[in-house]
Amino acid sequence: MSSALQNDLYLRALMREPVERTPVWVMRQAGRYLPEYLAVRKQAGDFMTLCSTPELACEVTLQPIDRFNLDAAILFSDILTIPDAMGLGLHFVAGEGPKFSKPIKSRSDVDKLPNLDAGTDLRYVMDAVSLIRKELNGRVPLIGFSGSPWTLATYMVEGSGTKDFSKVKGMLYGDTEAMHALLNKNAIAVTNYLNAQVAAGAQALMIFDTWGGVLSPDSYREFSLHYMQQIVDGLTREADGRRVPVVLFTKNGGRWLSDMADTGCDGLGVDWTIDLADAKQAVKGRVALQGNLDPSVLYGSPERIRNEVKKVLDSYGTDPGHVFNLGHGIHQFVNPDNLGVMVEAVREYSTR
């Protein structure tokens, strides 16, 4: 498993070490904008089969690395594997996103949730991690990931995506103890899940807190950040004699970057609604930053894309500790060539 890493720019940047150029990868880089992804997805039949078949998950994980020479691979999986393994009945309805047939409605539903042993209950994920690591053969590091306890809870309680979060916030304000019990169970499961991914070969970890930004500042600290802190405290931080960096990403969490940096994580994902210069000011050199081009820029002309890439790089400046990325996942209808333009621009403008 431990073939020497040929390109460790990503890991070094997260450790805020000097690098020859800014590493770049892209959230949702293995996704529907790629025709080769769509072909494998069609072959799999449905999304969860794709996620749960290690050979197919491995194949799509490597596609964007092959096409764009990106500096990190990220495990192809779904953020809802944990509640699915807990028995909530994950399924996908075309055009509507994920659904749970047995959402959490009460404290007694929370108490009935099983404690997961991710190494066995989510064996297919660990098999995918091991296989991807083997197939990468040291080209670039492999990132493992999970949804945050709060983000998982939003889907578990709403039973689907939502616009107003009325059910999950109804529990938060109406039965606060049940919400804390759920978040604690999720935090334990996520810690176990991420540690199993490290044991299987993940070389860095990312926690996606997609919905932390819908909370008030007090509620964010109490219901989202607190449980990410619990996870960070419980993670394996070294593997193969090397630091396993942890990156937290709260979408629309730009105001809370300083609090997030206090968790002891190594890096923070940043969306495009805050300038990297301001984000850097907020974290004062404690962590690396990852981001933060608006994914919609990839609908622009090559000239416009290059110009916007340059603005992001200039906003961060030349200090160590920057990983280039979009501020959220790449959109389905983007022309892959435009991502190529972005990646080349990052290389060209950031080479020291």
Per rule CB under 8 A, is residue 215 in the interface with a copy of itself?
yes
Q: What are phi and psi of 218, to 5 degrees?
A: -65, -45
Residue with tokens 């999986």: 77
Per rule CB under 8 A, is residue 295 in the interface with a copy of itself?
yes
From 17-25, 42-50, 197-205, 214-222, give the range in contact with a copy of itself by CB under 8 A.
Answer: 214-222
Question: Closer to a copy of itself at the Cβ: 320 or 329?
Answer: 329
Question: Closer to a copy of itself at the Cβ: 17 or 278?
Answer: 278
Q: Which of 33, 37, 155, 227 is catalytic?
A: 155
SS3 332: coil
Per rule CB under 8 A, is residue 217 in the interface with a copy of itself?
yes
Least distance (Å) between residue 272 CB and a copy of itself:
5
Which position among 147, 254, 269, 321 is part of the footprint of a copy of itself (CB under 8 A)? 254
Q: What is the 3-state secondary structure (H, E, C) of 156-180?
A: HHHCECCCCCHHHHHHHHHCHHHHH
Per rule CB under 8 A, is residue 214 in the interface with a copy of itself?
yes
Per rule CB under 8 A, is residue 96 in the interface with a copy of itself?
no
Strand partners, 147: 208
Report the distance separating Cα 251 and Cα 241, nearest Å. 32
Report the distance separating Cα 182 and Cα 176, nearest Å. 10
Which position among 69, 236, 258, 273 is part of the footprint of a copy of itself (CB under 8 A)? 273
* 32 annotated active-site: yes
SS3 129: helix
Q: What is the 3-state secondary structure (H, E, C) of 185-226?
A: HHHHHHHHHHHHHHHHCCCEEEEEECCHHHCCHHHHHHHHHH
Per rule CB under 8 A, is residue 331 in the interface with a copy of itself?
yes
Order the strands of the 267-269 sheet from edge to edge: 73-74, 142-147, 204-209, 246-250, 267-269, 288-293, 322-326
Question: Closer to a copy of itself at the Cβ: 58 or 257?
Answer: 257
Per rule CB under 8 A, is residue 259 in the interface with a copy of itself?
no
Binding site for a copy of itself (CB under 8 A): 164-166, 169-170, 172-174, 176, 213-219, 252, 254-255, 272-275, 294-297, 299-301, 304, 308, 311, 331, 333
For the annotated catalytic residues, the residue numbers are 28, 32, 41, 78, 155
